[in-house]
Amino acid sequence: MIELRDVSFSYPETAALCRIDLRIEEGDSVAIIGPNGSGKSTLLRLICGLATSVSGSYRFDGETMTAARLSDPRFAKAFHRRVGFLFQDSDAQLFCGSVRDEIAFGPRQMGLRESDFDGRVADLVGLFDLGAVETRVPYHLSGGEKRKVALASVLALNPEVLCLDEPMGGLDPRTKSSLRGLIATLNAAGKTIICATHDFEYVGGLFRRAVALSREGRLVRDGPYDEIIGDRDFLEAMNII
């Protein structure tokens, strides 16, 4: 479904990704690990179409993703509906006047039937236990509540692929645990999960596969999650633990 071939990306002052080859099948669950500055977020942004590689190719569901292709509004909208992205900083993702509006933003644009629209919003408010804060402005919620609202607003589009950038960052143990359960269920239901994470304690058993990036932005290892996370020498050498 997602195929990156020899993909490189650099910011004006630094190289971020160097010749990445990566294939992710539909329904896969992949953890992207690496030290700070290894390009984990950049890789996710590239997959979501927020950045375009300077070299190499990226194919999504057989379609080559170029800047030109993504500049077609109709194609871009259909693509963004299928690939959801959870920002590392929830403040960068929330901009509506109430939690309800935030969750309803996507479905409102999709032109759903009124009953479907109401049902969808109600389901997500219930799923994330946001009933008590439904009318509040997201900006003033706690970190954990903001993360839930952000994820709910992304799930409201019913994406097929979920790219999560450090979803556990700054959350308390109970919230981490329930988020873990939700991600597991979404993957079991067929959604592809790609997750950049530092937090190994709460994601055990969640991912089938791990992809390790080095400080220079190279893909150095790609294999079963348990095997890679179990290799402490490797993780220490990579400055991941």
User: Which of positions 53-72 make contact with other proteins (CB under 8 A)?
Assistant: 71
Among 59, 69, 81, 198, binds other proteins (CB under 8 A): 81
Of 181, 195, 141, nearest to 33 by C-alpha is 195
Q: How far apart are CA 30 and CA 196, in angstroms?
A: 9
Site residues for other proteins, 22-41, by CB under 8 A, read 23, 25, 28-29
To other proteins, the closest distance from the beta carbon of 209 in angstroms equals 6
Is the Cα dihedral 194, 195, 196, 197 positive or negative?
Answer: negative
Tell me the closest approach of the beta carbon of residue 17 to other proteins, in angstroms.
18
Number of residues near other proteins (by CB under 8 A): 71
Q: Tell me how far, at minimum, the Cβ of 237 lies from other proteins, in Å.
A: 21
Q: From CA 208, how far away is CA 91, in angstroms rounded?
A: 30
Print the binding letters for residues 86-125 with other proteins: x by CB under 8 A, - otherwise: -x-x-xxxxxxx-------xx-xxxx----x--xx--x--
Chosen residue from 85, 141, 192, 219 binding other proteins by CB under 8 A = 85
Question: b/e per residue, 5-41, with b = 16+ CB within 10 A?
Answer: eebbbbeeeeebbbebebebeebbbbbbbbbeebbbb
**Among the listed residues 160, 169, 170, 231, the single contact to other proteins using CB under 8 A:** 160
Closest CB 9 distance from other proteins, rounded Å: 15
Stretch near other proteins under the rule CB under 8 A, chosen from 20-28, 61-69, 212-220, 231-239: 20-28
* Cα torsion through 186, 26, 47, 172, rounded to 10: 20
Looking only at residues 177 through 236 of this chain, which bind other proteins when binding is defined by CB under 8 A? 177-178, 180-190, 205-209, 222-227
Which residue number, 119 or 131, has a Cβ lying nearer to other proteins? 119
- Nearest CB to other proteins, comparing residues 155 and 194: 155
Measured from the CB of residue 226, what is the shortest distance to other proteins in angstroms? 5
CA dist., res. 223 & res. 83, Å (int)? 23
- Number of Cβ within 10 Å of residue 92's Cβ equals 9
Q: With binding defined as CB under 8 A, does residue 137 bind other proteins?
A: yes
The residues pairing with 211 across neighbouring beta strands, listed in sequence order, are: 32, 222
Enclosing H/E stretch for 74: helix 73-82
* Pick 209 or 238: Cβ nearer other proteins: 209
Q: Give the residue from 171, 91, 168, 224 showing the smallest Cα distance to 212.
A: 224
